[in-house]
Amino acid sequence: MINQFEVPALIEDTLPELRRPLHQFPAIFHIYQTVDCLNSYLIRQLRNKNYPLLEKCLRLAGRLYERGNPIVQKAVTQIIVPELSKEPVPDNISRIRLYSLIPASLYNLYMQHHLNIQTKNK
């Protein structure tokens, strides 16, 4: 089981480009800031349509959710899932591509948030 103290190292191993942003604060003690850093990078990749890096980010988020302790799971469900659900996707091809990249462990949570947002906007 992945605990909150292991998350920064896992992110750095998967996405070395986040090493510097993660060291701006003592990330080992701030799971929400750590996951928010991953989320910001993930959203940037989605906006730039950089699907290979987006896939790495989403796989990492899925692994954190699947194998994380309750604190790690809560951080993923409170930060990554809602923000990803709110992010507008410009066209159907991009939407299908995004749906195909979301890990199975997060897909239902994503769809629940996404549908709630769509319902509220009507």
pLDDT digits (tens, 9 = 90+) for 21-37: 888 766 556 899 999 99
- Please, are residues 2 and 75 in contact by the beta-carbon 8 Å criterion? no
pLDDT score recorded for residue 115: 84
9 touches 72 (CB < 8 A): no
| Cα(117)–Cα(115) distance, integer angstroms | 5
Q: What is the pLDDT of residues 59-109, one digit of tens each?
A: 999 999 999 999 999 999 999 999 999 999 889 999 999 999 999 999 999
Exposure string of 56-71, with b = 16+ CB inside 10 Å and e = fewer, is: bbbebbbbbbeebbee
What's the pLDDT score for residue 93? 93
pTM value is 0.90
